[in-house]
Structure 1
Amino acid sequence: MEDLKKRKMEDMGNNGQLSTQEELRSLLDPLAKPQLVDLLSRLGSQYPSIAEEIKSIASSDPVHRKLFVRGLAWNTTSETLCAAFRMHGEIEEGAVIYDKATGKSRGYGFITYKHMESTHSALRAPSKLIDGRMAVCNLACEGLSGSSTTPDLAQRKLYIGGLSPDVTSEMLLSYFGRHGEIEEGSVAYDKDTNESRGFGFVTYKTVEAAKKAIDDPQKILGGRTIIVKLADTNKGKPVQTQVPTAAVIPLAMAVAPGYPQLGKAHPNAASARYAYPQPVASYQASSFSSPAAVPAPYPTQPPIPYASVAAKKDPQGILPTAPMGMSGYPYYIGKQ
């Protein structure tokens, strides 16, 4: 009897728990995401077990723990990259990406933390000076859609020209850091020689700081007067407009034999002694796509009679010979 009562109590308890979970789900389902986040965050702060479960679930997917790091120096290795980000927590994986063909760095890499909290800590300070260059990180799942592609980027990114070969990225960032906080910036270096190319870029976090840098009358760095202006972030090649082939109407021009044609010299131009009249150009019907598009033919000059001349051998060995050409004059053939 006691066993039966105990079993009934357990059944009632289980049914009551199931009923409570279903009721809670029905209550939570219509809630918006911000409401659920606020609720779980308050519960996690009150109950450590719930907080640990939230962390475990959030960190299960590496997409929330992986950072994309761009703006790396060409000599930055995977070891130096991990060393710069290890201050935020334990790193599960980190590597610089190299070009397969050349074996040189492509200027970016990835960092995957073991815990999601470490990722958030790194994102709170996205800019890091690594090997003399200011690198920037954001979530890898966002690609380049982070802060670097905000609409006001064109007003925050500056081109710095006329730099001395002795100016390093540290010197550049230190010089322009007096105008405001820098998000990204470095001297441009040649991939093969690792020497300065004489220019660089600086991206401020605010438009106001960029304006101060442009308006600053003192623009001398490394003993040289430098150029400071807005970088052309939308620079591209001009679009060349091509005329459709169908819109071009080729005109066939009948040229009398013995005259040089356009674009090339007649082989016997030096010995030509005949002064035939040039006929007026005429349109060829084959040049048009439809009969309706063929214009009326232009009139041609009437033939001018010439006195008959006895055929004699040309000094070049060419004789005028029948049959007659379309233009009314004889074709010329090769040496006889």
Structure 2
Amino acid sequence: MEDFKKRKLAEVGCVEINSVEELRSLLDPLAKPQLVDLLAKLGSQYPSIAEEIRSIASADPVHRKLFVRGLAWNTTSETLCAAFQEHGEIEEGAVIYDKATGKSRGYGFITYKHMESTQHALKAPSKLIDGRMAVCNLACEGLTGASSTSDLSQRKLYIGSLSPDVTSEMLLKYFERHGEIEEGSVAYDKDTNESRGFGFVTYKTAEAAKKAIDDPQKILGGRNIIVKFADSHKGKTGQTQLPAAMVPMGLPVASGYSQPGNPHVNTAPIGYNYPQTVAPYPSSSYLSPPNAPTPYPSQGPVSYAPVTGKKDQIGLPPTPPVGMGNYPYYIAKQ
């Protein structure tokens, strides 16, 4: 029988392969699309190969775990699993809650038992759960998945001036006339679960979002509503920030100055170290001091000629010269 098999292979020009290494050497040069086509064809013909492919593909949970965002605050883990069990058997599913408040953080995870179920769920990533349009993608992709493409700014709309009576279902029903919606809901207060008067709608195409903006009829719940791109509304409700130079700041109090209740400490102010080095400046930077004035020439004592006094008619001494005061002087004999 063995000889017959070898003879048949030789007749058709085939070489019998007896080892895994020989198969690897043949498969190694093939491109990925060729390998995928080959395995798909063999899997469809041989159930054992199909089962092996399924087992290997599902071994790593990274290919079976979904990240689901946009959940309502009242959505529970049970509700989340019930919404996704239509695609296959769920191995694990949970809504993520805040540890401090115990309230939902608006997202969760679903892990299927088989990779095929995950791929089936990704074909319809948007799902209405508890009145909100939730969106899923592979957890390993995070927020950079297919639903968060670079053109999100052209597909996501801000809807304002909503009536408190408008629900997420009403919002989605109203805007789905312009195109397929990927995600959308009314914004609710976490504490009271009441509408905050606005919401968001994300279309799958930028063309649908443009139609919604250009639609002249924008009346929902008996009110004229605001429809514009979500990016153009960012930061409008936040507090206006002053430039750094205008933000009021408290000046630090130096520790070397007396403060109420604190004794004076003879230390340098905070942030200063002594001695400080003064940057040198060239001597040319300073003006030359003016020259000292030339001293006046000294003058020797002035001598005056002796004054000869004369007696008046009644024999009294004459009046002293001007400037002599009561200083005595002698009258020369005549």
- TM-score by structure 1 length? 0.67
Cα root mean square deviation, aligned: 2.9
State the partner residue of 1:247. Answer: none
Provide closer, same or farther for how the CA distance between residues 116 and 294 of structure 1 changes in structure 2, counting only shifts above 3 A: farther
State the partner residue of 1:221. Answer: 220
Provide closer, same or farther for how the CA distance between residues 162 and 51 of structure 1 changes in structure 2, counting only shifts above 3 A: same
Deviations 1:155-180 (A, max 9, x none): 00000000001000000000000000
Provide closer, same or farther for how the CA distance between residues 70 and 233 of structure 1 changes in structure 2, counting only shifts above 3 A: farther
Whole-angstrom distance in 2 between the partners of 1:36 and 1:233:
47
Whole-angstrom distance in 2 between the partners of 1:294 and 1:103:
73
SS at match of 1:31: coil
State the partner residue of 2:90. Answer: 91
State the partner residue of 2:46. Answer: 47
State the partner residue of 1:127. Answer: 126
Whole-angstrom distance in 2 between the partners of 1:77 and 1:135:
13
Provide closer, same or farther for how the CA distance between residues 40 and 228 of structure 1 changes in structure 2, counting only shifts above 3 A: same
Provide closer, same or farther for how the CA distance between residues 42 and 191 of structure 1 changes in structure 2, counting only shifts above 3 A: same
CA contact (8 A) 1:214 1:229 kept: yes
CA contact (8 A) 2:171 2:186 kept: yes
State the partner residue of 1:68. Answer: 67
Whole-angstrom distance in 2 between the partners of 1:121 and 1:83:
16
CA contact (8 A) 1:159 1:201 kept: yes
Question: How big is the shift at 1:293?
Answer: 9.2
State the partner residue of 2:327. Answer: none
Whole-angstrom distance in 2 between the partners of 1:145 and 1:38:
29
Whole-angstrom distance in 2 between the partners of 1:288 and 1:41:
79
Whole-angstrom distance in 2 between the partners of 1:233 and 1:294:
60
Paired letter, 2:170: M
Gaps of 5+ in 2: 3-14, 246-274, 289-334
CA contact (8 A) 1:76 1:131 kept: yes
Provide closer, same or farther for how the CA distance between residues 293 and 123 of structure 1 changes in structure 2, counting only shifts above 3 A: farther
State the partner residue of 1:149. Answer: 148
How many aligned residue pairs are there? 243
Provide closer, same or farther for how the CA distance between residues 126 and 215 of structure 1 changes in structure 2, counting only shifts above 3 A: same
1:291 to 2:290 alignment: no
Give the structure with higher Rg (CA): 2
CA contact (8 A) 2:96 2:108 kept: yes
Provide closer, same or farther for how the CA distance between residues 214 and 293 of structure 1 changes in structure 2, counting only shifts above 3 A: farther
Provide closer, same or farther for how the CA distance between residues 94 and 295 of structure 1 changes in structure 2, counting only shifts above 3 A: farther
Paired letter, 2:114: H
Provide closer, same or farther for how the CA distance between residues 154 and 287 of structure 1 changes in structure 2, counting only shifts above 3 A: farther
1:170 to 2:159 alignment: no
CA contact (8 A) 1:154 1:233 kept: no
Whole-angstrom distance in 2 between the partners of 1:85 and 1:298:
87
Deviations 1:92-150 (A, max 9, x none): 11000000000000000000111111111111111000000000000111111113321
State the partner residue of 1:22. Answer: 21
State the partner residue of 2:195. Answer: 196
Deviations 1:2-28 (A, max 9, x none): xxxx9xxxxxxxxx9874422210011
Paired letter, 2:152: L
Aligned sequence identity (%): 80
Whole-angstrom distance in 2 between the partners of 1:168 and 1:95:
25
Provide closer, same or farther for how the CA distance between residues 296 and 133 of structure 1 changes in structure 2, counting only shifts above 3 A: same
Provide closer, same or farther for how the CA distance between residues 233 and 162 of structure 1 changes in structure 2, counting only shifts above 3 A: closer
Provide closer, same or farther for how the CA distance between residues 24 and 287 of structure 1 changes in structure 2, counting only shifts above 3 A: same
Whole-angstrom distance in 1 between the partners of 2:204 and 2:63:
24
CA contact (8 A) 1:132 1:168 kept: yes
Paired letter, 2:157: L
Gaps of 5+ in 1: 1-5, 7-15, 244-285, 300-336
- TM-score by structure 2 length? 0.67
Whole-angstrom distance in 2 between the partners of 1:234 and 1:21:
61
Provide closer, same or farther for how the CA distance between residues 287 and 113 of structure 1 changes in structure 2, counting only shifts above 3 A: same
SS at match of 1:125: coil
CA contact (8 A) 2:137 2:147 kept: no
Question: How big is the shift at 1:296?
Answer: 5.3
Whole-angstrom distance in 1 between the partners of 2:189 and 2:206:
29
Whole-angstrom distance in 2 between the partners of 1:129 and 1:293:
78
Provide closer, same or farther for how the CA distance between residues 294 and 154 of structure 1 changes in structure 2, counting only shifts above 3 A: farther
SS at match of 1:75: coil
Question: How big is the shift at 1:298?
Answer: 9.6
